[in-house]
Amino acid sequence: METIHIQTKSKDYPLFIGNGIRHDANSFINSLGKNYSSYLIITDSAVENLYLQDVVNGLKTDNVFTHIVPSGEQAKSIDHYYECLTKALESGLDRKSCIIALGGGVVGDLAGFVAATYMRGIAFIQMPTTLLAHDSSVGGKVAINHPLGKNMIGAFYQPDAVIYDVETLQSLNDTEWRSGFAEVIKHALIWDEQLFNEVRNIRSIEQLKQSDLISILKRAINVKAEIVAKDEKESNIRSYLNFGHTLGHAIEAELGYGKISHGEAVAIGMIFAMKLSERHYQIDLNIDAYETWFQSLGFQTTVPANLTAEKLIDTMKKDKKAAHGKIKMILIKKIGKVEAVSFEEAALHQFLKNEIERKMENA
């Protein structure tokens, strides 16, 4: 087991990472010295069957309540959020209670937002169970979705701790491994050349499963930690974490959530952002090599055929990061060197349209 110290302007907290540590949640929580009065574990229906009992046993107290939400993005709705609050009230949670988010990014975002708003904010602990959640469990962004936009109702609210049992990743399906790996690759590309050199040799999901996950995850988490330490509320460099996400989010929204995983959409967005970077900076990033690598991992690298540039740009304009009619894209000059560049809608639209048409010609 190893500890990473997450430091943000509003709060410092430990992230414990190791194999099998869910069984020992009690000792990690005791080390925080908080003395919570009770716990509400929020998890989803898939994770419930796999790990809920282990965590309940590991807490070694009777004051534990549990609440199960459906598996998948649908759980980040106002109705499920409200049900969580009802469960918290019915269970008599008080201001000294602690909410535990046991699951992937969906449960982390939902349970974190419940914790941020219940009685004006109570403690919460992240217990991530997906590869992607190495990213989402750190940094304190918590949110639910509105039918008109993803993550539109939320807060910046840091947990008291993150307890990351990497053993739980072994039950993920390949799609979820791939989705999470896209965020690892993103962390490497935007910030950490050494991590990039480590992960670029992973050329299949099978190889990823057998890699030294703790070492890779520690580095990827450190990228996120360094960025949020400098800019907790996304006034400047935190936006680098959106590399691949402006188009990625639009693809997810246009296809319908659940039709493509978050990371798979981000992978398409990263390739697009690299192409845009080549054009903007007049440089050669050797994108063919990235596309071949991504494809060997099972990623699509081009915009799905049924989506149009018009629709995607329309959705990108509604992104929280768009401002003054311009669309902000994170561009890359070389590994570890990115910056935010604002584009006029028409210019970005033309570039995206050309990319989509070029793909159709090559098909």
Interacting residue ranges for ligand NAD, rule: CB under 6 A: 44, 46-47, 50, 71-73, 76, 103-107, 109, 129-130, 132-133, 135-136, 139, 141, 151, 168, 171-172, 176, 179, 262
- The alpha-helical segments, DSSP class H, found in 48-173 are 53-59, 78-90, 105-117, 133-136
Pick 72 or 304: Cβ nearer ligand NAD: 72
Which residues 6+ apart lie within 8 Å of 166 measured at CB? 17, 18, 19, 213, 214, 217
Pick 58 or 104: Cβ nearer ligand NAD: 104
* Short-list 66, 94, 70, 93, CA closest to 80: 70
What's the min distance (Å) between Cβ of 150 and ligand NAD? 6
Pick 76 or 187: Cβ nearer ligand NAD: 76
Residue at token pair 């809920």: 52
* Short-list 82, 158, 167, CA closest to 126: 158
Neighbouring C-beta atoms of residue 258, cutoff 10 Å: 10
What's the min distance (Å) between Cβ of 116 and ligand NAD? 12
Pick 61 or 171: Cβ nearer ligand NAD: 171
What's the min distance (Å) between Cβ of 323 and ligand NAD? 20
52 within 8 A of 102, measured Cβ to Cβ: yes
Pick 136 or 158: Cβ nearer ligand NAD: 136
Pick 97 or 168: Cβ nearer ligand NAD: 168
- Work out the end-to-end distance of the chain between its first and last CA atoms, rounded to an integer number of angstroms: 48
Residue nearest to ligand NAD (CB): 105
What's the min distance (Å) between Cβ of 128 and ligand NAD? 8
Angle at 233 between CA 329 and CA 10, to 5 degrees: 160
What's the min distance (Å) between Cβ of 186 and ligand NAD? 10
Which residues 6+ apart lie within 8 Å of 119 measured at CB? 93, 94, 95
Of all helices (H) and strands (E), which one includes residue 244? none
- The alpha-helical segments, DSSP class H, found in 155-244 are 174-191, 193-199, 205-209, 213-230
Pick 270 or 309: Cβ nearer ligand NAD: 270
Pick 70 or 92: Cβ nearer ligand NAD: 70
What's the min distance (Å) between Cβ of 155 and ligand NAD? 11
What's the min distance (Å) between Cβ of 204 and ligand NAD? 19
CA 341 to chain centre: 22
Pick 12 or 94: Cβ nearer ligand NAD: 12
What's the min distance (Å) between Cβ of 126 and ligand NAD? 10
Helix (H, G, I), strand (E, B) or coil at 96: coil
What's the min distance (Å) between Cβ of 202 and ligand NAD? 19
Q: Is the dihedral of CA 212, 213, 218, 222 positive or negative?
A: positive
d(CA 229, CA 6): 7
